A and B are shown apart, each in its own frame.
Chain A
Amino acid sequence: MLSVQQAKWFFLGGTAVTFAIFLLLTLHTFSRIPALSNQDQMTDRVIHGKRLWDEKNCMGCHTILGEGGYYAPELTRVYTRRGPAFIRAMLKDPQAMYPGERRMVQYQLTDTDMDDLIAFFEWVGRIDTNGFPPKPTLLTVAMPAQPGQPSVVERLDRPKVFNQLCIACHSLGGQGGNVGPPLDTVGQRMTRDEFVSWLEKPQAVRPGTAMPDLPLSDAQIAELAAFLVQLQGPGAVARASPVPPAASDRRPAQGATPAGPDSPPPAAPATPPAASGD
């Protein structure tokens, strides 16, 4: 049986050995961090962005690299997920972006501040994180009609700005936010010109609407309008097909996403909606 003296040596010896290994690994890790994080691309803007991140205690709600408050979204990949236009609009007036939802503090940031925070997010997004955050593995199970499809934010058949910005509040094919209405059939309700004037200034078209004025360029608006007008939804498909609309209403994903903004609207397929799609 172990004596007190032996137990003490077990403690001291084990501690010394593990700490020695830990220190060596720490040294090696520090030699690798610059390459893994593209440290050479850490500009003054990125550094200022990080300082703002700390100053506002963004970590008190958000997580970055998975660390933070679990109260607001994970932001490691926010630059590719949402893009600079969304981030800027969010920082300017969070409540306008998400009316009636969980609130974020509205900071009085200058344009430079916002640019620097965006630069910080862009830089953080390129850190090699060993595969975090993970790609949603159950996506193919949740949407059986489209096996092997990339996740919703990576769909290349949609305008990038749609995947980054619109999807934050609206859903398409059952995926996206639920702050605004789903967009599956929005093309039935509005024309291309109406989309253009709506996207330019929603508050001018319908004052008091929950949709904020968004910082979109004319090219982005044109691209979005061309895309949105094609979203006729399964109802439109059903009109020309033998499947009753009531049955296809539950499958809004099918046939709702044409190949791209420049492709023709989806023709009525001969097969039932479940087997259609792109």
Chain B
Amino acid sequence: MHYLSQRIAYLFFATAMLLFSLQLVYGLLMAQAHMGWDGLHPWVPFNVMRPVHMNLLLMWLLAGFMGASYYLVPEEVKRPIVLPWVALVQWAAFVAVGVTAIVGFHFQWWEGRKFLEIPRPLDWLVVADLVLFLLVIGATLWRAERRTGTVLVLYFGLLSAAGFYLFGMIDTVHPTVDSFWRWWVVHLWVEGVWELIMGALLAFLLLRLTGVDREIIEKWLYVVVGLTFLSGVLGTGHHYYWIGTPDYWLWIGAIFSALEPLAFLGMAVWAVAMMRRGGRRHPNRMALMWTVGAAIMSFVGAGFLGFAHTLPQVNRFTHGTLITAMHGHLAFWGAYAMIVLAIITYAMPQMTGRAIYRNWTQHYAFWASNIGIVAMTLALAVAGIAQVYLERMAGMDFLVVQREIEWHFFGMLLAALLLVSGVAAYVVDFIRYGLPVSDLSELPEPDLDAAHEGGAQPVTRGGAVGYGDRLVGRDPA
């Protein structure tokens, strides 16, 4: 950490941790409802739990992206955040809107449109909040003397994310038109501009953790985000197969969405190659594990499992079944949850001057959550495949099939408990890090891992192994 204004990131990270924990609670309740235990139905029916679960996900990931931006933009452009008090207001407004939306869902204050359930008045507040955020980050970039490719890609991603949100606010009563614009938000976010944000975070983390030259890393970044848009934009077509749109989307969607895994494959190869090439052994190995893990798991979840049901010949039968939920869980985890957890793992020791990353709990958090989510995905896959064959192909009644696959949700629940235990370990460590320092001199050393770029102070200790020792020495445990 170079500037005290970077501490704003902590507020967003803490918010993300809280919302993530709540998201898991609702997820557990939904798995139980799928098992036939819907005891909460009179108070919190499934159509309340689902938007809460989904919107908490979107909110905590957005909080993570915003926190990451407040942390890494000053590092990259070498100047503090402009108007940090506006950033504070922006955080408070973000929390207020989010809490209002989540509470409102429990009282049927919603729009009833999948993923975009936030009611219209709150939509405008979301937009206002995003504008405020983009203004603070934009002004910081504007005033800076150096702007790296990484921050430009990040800002482009954030700006486009805010822009596409507006298409979800187009008012229509036509379900086809409604769906068409809804995917401009949801698809062009998660299979488009969010990948830019993810790519930029990946670039920043790889720069810091591996020590590979910026030139090489940013070249990869442009190639990866180039592949993302080349495939992902027209890949939106895979949402336009069956909703009352012309049939040319069947082959356009098929061809381009079949190319979408390339971008994720690029990220995985990039991360692994940089890790192997990096001559530096950064002490925060956990941050590197989360970073490379995100690149690999996003390829498995978003790339491979997405491809598995994206061709219309397959999708005709899997569309609207648990197969989509199966893909969604691992895709969001691998691509976005893990990259946010990676940046938090990297930034917390930097902001607090404490080094908990050598604790076994950090390893437990990583492995338990990853094994848990993979097992959940497998359980959902079995349930989804059974549903496709029994309901869609053999013509059995929906509820009869759901009865048949209840047991797979018991398996999913067990796997989810493993995930929850891993995330709990992560959150506990997050709390143990404590608050960021209020005086930069309290930090053990001035930002060692930025040193190789020449802007920061030279590394006093030199040598790969000795580097970062003092951080480790301050481990409170």
| Residues of A participating in the B interface, judged by any CB pair closer than 8 Å | 2-4, 7-8, 10-11, 14-15, 18-19, 21-22, 25-26, 28-30, 32-33, 36-37, 39, 42, 47, 50-51, 53-61, 63-74, 98, 101-103, 105, 124, 127-134, 136-139, 141-142, 151-152, 167-168, 175-179
Contact = CB atoms under 8 A, between A and B. Distances in A.
Contacts of B34: 71
A33 B240 CA distance: 11
A173 to B, nearest CB: 12
Interface string B44-69: 01111011000000000000000000
A59 B320 contact: no
Given A18-B229, A71-B46, A33 B174 contact: yes
A185 to B, nearest CB: 20
Interface in B313-329: 316-317, 319-322, 324-325
B317 to A, nearest CB: 6
B410 interface: no
B393 interface: yes
A141 to B, nearest CB: 8
A166 to B, nearest CB: 12
B219 A4 contact: yes
A64 B114 CA distance: 11
A129 B250 CA distance: 11
B414 to A, nearest CB: 20
B26 interface: no
B402 A60 contact: no
A74 B316 CA distance: 13
Interface of B: 33-34, 36, 38, 41, 45-48, 50-51, 108, 110-114, 117, 149, 173-177, 179-180, 215, 218-223, 225-227, 229-230, 233-234, 236, 240-250, 252, 256, 316-317, 319-322, 324-325, 389, 392-400, 402-403
Contact of B394 (A98, A105, A138): A138
A57 B394 contact: no
B245 A32 contact: yes
Given A127-B244, A131-B242, 10 more contacts: A11-B226, A21-B234, A25-B249, A33-B174, A67-B320, A70-B321, A74-B398, A105-B45, A130-B250, A142-B395
Nearest to B397: A177
A132 B319 contact: yes
Nearest to B177: A33
A98 B402 CA distance: 14
A30 B435 CA distance: 52
**Complex A-B, nearest 4 residue pairs according to Cβ-Cβ distance, in ascending order:** A60-B47, A136-B395, A66-B320, A132-B242
Contact of A103 (B45, B180, B240, B392): B45
A102 B244 contact: no
A28 B240 CA distance: 13
Contacts of A66: 242-243, 319-320
B316 to A, nearest CB: 5
A131 B242 CA distance: 7
Contact of B400 (A105, A132, A139, A177): A177
17 contacts: A2-B223, A4-B215, A4-B218, A4-B222, A11-B223, A11-B225, A25-B234, A29-B245, A30-B180, A33-B244, A51-B173, A56-B112, A60-B47, A64-B175, A65-B175, A134-B316, A138-B395
